[in-house]
Amino acid sequence: MDFDIRPYDFVAALRGWLLISAGLAAVSLAIAFLLSVARNGAAGLKIFTSGLRSYISDTATVSLRRVLAVSRLTLLEAVRRKALLVFVIFSILLMFAGWFIADANERPELQVQVHVTFLLKSIAWLMLPAVIFLSCWSIPEDIRLRSLHTVVTKPVRRVEIVLGRVLGLSVVFLFVLAAMGAVGQLWLSRRIPENAKAALQCRVPMFGELYFLNAEGQPGNVGINVGDVYAFRSHIQGNSRARGVFVFPKFDESALTVNAEGAQELLLECRFEAFRTVKGSEQSVKKGIQAQYTLMSNPREEAFMMFAQSEVLKPTAEAFRNAEFRNAAELLKGVAGRIRTNPQELRPADYVAMYNAMDNASSVLDSRKDQGLGDLAKIFLAARDASLPIPELMARQDAGQRVEIPWEALAAAVDAVADSVLKFSPALLENLPRLEVPLPAFHVSEYHGGDDATVNLTRIPRTLRFVASDEVLARFLADTTATWNAEGKLVENGALRATLVDDLVAQSKISRLNAERLAVVLGEELAAGKLTIADGKLTLPESGSWFVFYRDLISLQRLISEDSEGWLIEKDLVNDLAKEGYLRVEVACVDDQMYLGMARPDLFVRKADRPFWVGYWKAMAGIACMLLLLVVLCVTVSCLVKGNIALFFAMTFWIVGQFYEFIMRKLSGLEKGMGSFESAVLLAQHRNPEVGMDVSSTTMKVVQAGDKSLEGILWVFSRGVPDFKVFSRATTFVENRFDVPFWDVVLPCIAVLGGFLIPCVLIAGALLKFRELELK
Distance from C-alpha of 725 to C-alpha of 665, rounded to nearest angstrom: 14
Residue 153 in contact with another protein, rule: CB under 8 A: yes
- Binding map of another protein across residues 30-49, x = CB under 8 A, - = no contact: ---------x---x------
- Binding map of another protein across residues 733-752, x = CB under 8 A, - = no contact: --------------------
Query: How many other CB atoms are found less than 10 A from the CB of residue 734?
Result: 27
User: Do residues 201 and 132 make contact, with C-beta atoms less than 8 angstroms apart?
Assistant: no
Nearer to another protein, 39 or 701 (CB): 39
Query: Which 402-431 residues touch another protein, going by CB under 8 A?
Result: none
Query: Which 111-150 residues touch another protein, going by CB under 8 A?
Result: 145-147, 149-150
User: Do residues 94 and 120 make contact, with C-beta atoms less than 8 angstroms apart?
Assistant: no
Smallest distance from another protein to CB 643, Å:
17
Query: Which 475-514 residues touch another protein, going by CB under 8 A?
Result: none
Smallest distance from another protein to CB 66, Å:
6
Residue 60 in contact with another protein, rule: CB under 8 A: no
Residue 644 in contact with another protein, rule: CB under 8 A: no
Distance from C-alpha of 638 to C-alpha of 138, rounded to nearest angstrom: 8
Distance from C-alpha of 99 to C-alpha of 496, rounded to nearest angstrom: 77
Smallest distance from another protein to CB 85, Å:
15
User: Do residues 707 and 667 make contact, with C-beta atoms less than 8 angstroms apart?
Assistant: no
**b/e 125-155 (16+ beta carbons within 10 angstroms → b):** ebbbebbbbbbbbbbbbbbeeeebeebbeee
Among 151, 210, 646, 681, the residue binding another protein under the rule CB under 8 A is 151
Nearer to another protein, 64 or 403 (CB): 64
Binding residue count for another protein, defined by CB under 8 A: 34
Smallest distance from another protein to CB 157, Å:
6
Among 63, 344, 676, 685, the residue binding another protein under the rule CB under 8 A is 63
Distance from C-alpha of 770 to C-alpha of 776, rounded to nearest angstrom: 15
Distances (CA, A) of 530 to 429, 467, 550, 592, 672: 21, 28, 12, 46, 69
Query: Which 313-342 residues touch another protein, going by CB under 8 A?
Result: none
3-state SS assignment for residue 748: helix
Smallest distance from another protein to CB 142, Å:
9
Distance from C-alpha of 26 to C-alpha of 34, rounded to nearest angstrom: 12
User: Do residues 410 and 394 make contact, with C-beta atoms less than 8 angstroms apart?
Assistant: no
Choices 502-510, 554-562, 573-581, 768-776; region in contact with another protein by CB under 8 A: 768-776
Smallest distance from another protein to CB 764, Å:
16
HEC states along 612-656? HHHHHHHHHHHHHHHHHHHHHHHHHHHCCCCHHHHHHHHHHHHHH
Q: What are phi and psi of 268, to 5 degrees?
A: -110, 120
Smallest distance from another protein to CB 45, Å:
15
Residue 58 in contact with another protein, rule: CB under 8 A: yes
Nearer to another protein, 63 or 575 (CB): 63
Nearer to another protein, 77 or 446 (CB): 77
Residue 709 in contact with another protein, rule: CB under 8 A: no
Nearer to another protein, 77 or 576 (CB): 77
3-state SS assignment for residue 386: helix
Choices 22-30, 50-58, 414-422, 735-743; region in contact with another protein by CB under 8 A: 50-58
- C-alpha torsion 590→595→601→604, nearest 10: -10
Distance from C-alpha of 771 to C-alpha of 637, rounded to nearest angstrom: 13
- Binding map of another protein across residues 65-104, x = CB under 8 A, - = no contact: xx-xx--xx--xx--xx-----------------------
Query: How many other CB atoms are found less than 10 A from the CB of residue 66?
Result: 18
Smallest distance from another protein to CB 101, Å:
39
User: Do residues 654 and 634 make contact, with C-beta atoms less than 8 angstroms apart?
Assistant: no
Choices 154-162, 371-379, 420-428, 542-550; region in contact with another protein by CB under 8 A: 154-162
Which residues are near another protein by CB under 8 A? 39, 43, 50-51, 54, 58, 63, 65-66, 68-69, 72-73, 76-77, 80-81, 145-147, 149-157, 772-776
